Structure 1
Amino acid sequence: MIKLYSLLAACLLGLSVRAQSSLPAPEIGVVVDMERDSLVKALQFKYMLETTAKVLSPREVSDAEFQERLQQIRELEVPLYGCNIFIPSDLKVVGPNVDEEAVLEYVEVVLRRAQVAGLTLITWGSGGSRRVPEGFDRVTATAQFIYMAKRVAEVAARYDMLLVLENLNSSECNFITSIPEALAVVRAVDHPNFRLCVDIYHMLKDGQPASDIVGTGPYAAYCEIAERDGRTPPGVQGTDFTPYLAAMKAEGYTGKIMIEARWDDLATQGPAAYRTLRDQIDAVYQ
């Protein structure tokens, strides 16, 4: 539990430091195939995120293959911080076809393996799994999701793993598509192993203002970012992220910021992406 409590303490820093003009600047990581860790290190990124399917999923990764993944993770030059794409789209957590037992069996293996692999968190986007069927009551869907999140958070607690709920954009999902909506769910779940991912790309995609970040301080544990059009990495279109970064700072955020982008070529775009985001973060956090 020490790892989780340390992470949550850092996330709760905002409760006591809002008035400070200076906070430790967030480190930058990247969502990328972990086989590219040598390049990632050369580009100065500090952490990586991989997909659940590739590293942890019992559907895709046998026990023997997981042992191979573990060896690979132990030899990485850049730490693997966590995984994304948590729950497969056919395992519904809302709607008329929720199989609670199947969901819990799946996440049990994923989260147990995540602990063995030394990961810190899992991002919970999973738009297909949480999409509300047409005509289904949204109040009921919200209650279902909160209930399932509580159950899954209990599993996460057993394995000292943090789940972070990701706001998705409305072209990817029809449920939990804003920071205020995600924050309301996190508050309702009210579990220390279930916190908030502030995804700035999804905010930009739906034209949501930086002011939506207000109030996330005690709950925001992770942040992802990319440019709006085409989900390009920072530096391609010249996006100014500083209003959103300033809002994060105002909430006391000092956690990781991960670039989750569509790369044409990481080797050529990576230096500008890192430098662009590093400069904007430092300008805000100085």
Structure 2
Amino acid sequence: MKNTLTGLFLLCLIAFLQSNASAQPPGGKKRMPVLGIAASMDNDSLAGAAGFSCLEETVKRMLAPAVSEDVFAANIERINKARCRIQTCNVFIPGYLKLTGPAVNEAWVLGYVDTVMQRAEKAGIRLIVLGSGEARKIPEGYDPDMAKGQFIRLARKMADIAKKHNCLIAMENLNATETNFVNTVAEACQVVTAIAHPHFRLTADIYHMLRENEPPANLLQAKGILVHCHIAEREKRSAPGTERQDFRPYLAALRSIGYNGRIMMECRWTDPAKEYAPAVAYLEAQLNEVYHISGKK
């Protein structure tokens, strides 16, 4: 009887290992990130037809307290019918709600965040990008270390609210023309690590990295905290392929830390009907080379 049970156990173990092996991508290749676009839901059909998998709307249009209940209900209906998955939003904190400096009103900020997060949960939004360059900008003459500590403490409280509503806040790096606080991925990693909250994570914006001449290697610091990416070409924030920007060094860094989440094109478009599909094809080609063909680490 004992030998029979041992034999059955071994057969089950072999079957389990074989099924796991067959589930891996051929040749041990890692799953590629999915491509999305930061755009209005008005462009959902066009984006879906062009090959985007997901679409990133704005808090301002979708979830903010200023959005009426009727409009919010209509937004949820549109999200549920959308061709692209809509699970993320940006344009989070308006400029008049300060996150650093003497004008911070914590109660107002947290009240605003709570409303946004309640609505995010109802709408199925699972991640909110914290760019908000004006809101987080350190006022002239204010001590940068005090501002950093102030932001970290407030961000933890914001993250507690996000946790309550099953959402993530993901802070992004913004170049120095947009804010004076956290201009690089390296700085963002330090802040996110200091906040040390599972519902406060990192968005790496490759366009802003390019504007700050930040090396791809800095993305290696983001392992374990990176949950989202934005991308655009350096000079005019144009769509991938317009100026033939080579993103492969940055994509290789993402691959090396095992990133396979969303990469959202946050670009300036002039003719979406003509530009969406070529942009998807261009970036997919570079992703495919880095993640599946080149084998680069």
Q: What is the rounded CA distance, in whole Å, between the counterparts of 1:190 and 1:22 in structure 2? A: 31
Task: Give the whole-Å Cα distance in 1 for the aligned partners of 2:241 and 2:207.
Answer: 14
Tell me whether 1:43 sits opposite 2:33 in the alignment: no
Report how far residue 43 of structure 1 moved. 0.2
Q: Which residue of 2 aligns with 1:15?
A: none
How many percent of aligned residue pairs carry the same amino acid? 41
Could you tell me which residue of structure 2 aligns to residue 158 of structure 1? 164
For the residues of structure 2 that align with 1:151 and 1:34, how far apart are their CA atoms?
Answer: 30
The 3-state SS of whatever aligns with 1:73 is helix
The residue number in structure 1 matching 2:147 is: 141
Change beyond 3 A, Cα 1:205–1:136: same
Q: Which residue of 264, 271, 282 corresponds with 1:265?
A: 271
Please list, as runs of the form range in 1=range in 2, the aligned pairs for 1:33-72 lying within 5 A after superposition: 33-59=40-66, 61-72=67-78
Among candidates 32, 35, 45, match of residue 28 of structure 1: 35
Paired with 2:224 and 2:231, the residues of 1 have a C-alpha distance of: 20
Give me the whole-angstrom Cα distance separating, in 1, the residues matched to 2:71 and 2:244.
Answer: 41
Match of 2:202 among 191, 196, 200: 196
Looking at structure 2, the residues matched to 79 and 244 of structure 1 have their Cα atoms a distance apart, in angstroms, of: 25
CA distance in 1, matches of 2:28, 2:256: 9
The runs of 5 or more residues in structure 2 that have no matched partner are 1-26, 293-297
Q: Distance in 2 between matches of 1:113 and 1:100?
A: 20
Listed as ranges, the gaps of 5+ residues in structure 1 are 1-19
In the alignment, does 2:180 pair up with 1:168? no
Alpha-carbon distance in structure 2 between the residues aligned to 1:151 and 1:129: 16
Match of 1:240 in 2: 246
Instruction: Tell me by how many angstroms 1:47 deviates.
Output: 0.1
Alpha-carbon distance, 1:150 to partner: 0.1
- Runs of 4+ residues deviating >6 angstroms: none
SS of 1:231's partner is: coil
Give the superposed CA RMSD: 1.0
The alpha carbon displacement at 1:148 in A equals 0.9
Distance 2:82 2:115 in 1: 23
How far off its partner does 1:35 sit? Answer: 1.5
Residue correspondences, number: 266
Inter-partner Cα distance in structure 1 for 2:275 and 2:73 = 33
> Using the alignment, how far apart are the partners of 1:254 and 1:74 within structure 2?
24
- 3-state SS in 2 of match to 1:122: strand
In structure 2, the partner of 1:213 is: 219
AA aligned opposite 2:56: L
Normalising by structure 1, we get a TM-score of 0.91
Cα offsets for 1:37-77 (capped at 9, x unmatched): 11111101000001111000012x01122111111111111
2:285 aligned with 1:282? no
Letter in 2 for 1:228: R
Separation in structure 2 between the aligned mates of residue 276 and residue 74 of structure 1, nearest angstrom: 29
Does 1:249 pair with 2:255?
yes
Matches of 2:214 and 2:93 in 1, distance apart? 26
CA offsets per residue over residues 81-101 of structure 1, 9 Å max, x none? 211010000000100100000
Which structure ranks higher in relative contact order (CA pairs < 8 Å, sequence separation ≥ 6)? 1
1:178 lines up with 2:216 in the alignment: no
Q: Distance in 1 between matches of 2:262 and 2:203?
A: 10
Q: Cα distance 1:47–1:94, how it changes in 2: closer, same or farther (>3 A)?
A: same
Matches within 5 A, 1:88-103: 88-103=94-109
Shift of 1:233: 0.4
- Secondary structure (helix, strand or coil) at the match of 1:97 reads coil
> In 2, distance between residues paired with 1:205 and 1:22?
31
Determine whether 1:126 maps to 2:122. no
The alpha-carbon deviation at position 21 of structure 1 amounts to: 6.5
1:78, distance to aligned residue in structure 2 (A): 1.2
Mark the structure with the bigger radius of gyration.
Answer: 2
Amino acid at match of 1:117: A
- Could you tell me which amino acid in structure 1 is paired with residue 45 of structure 2? S
Aligned to 1:16: none
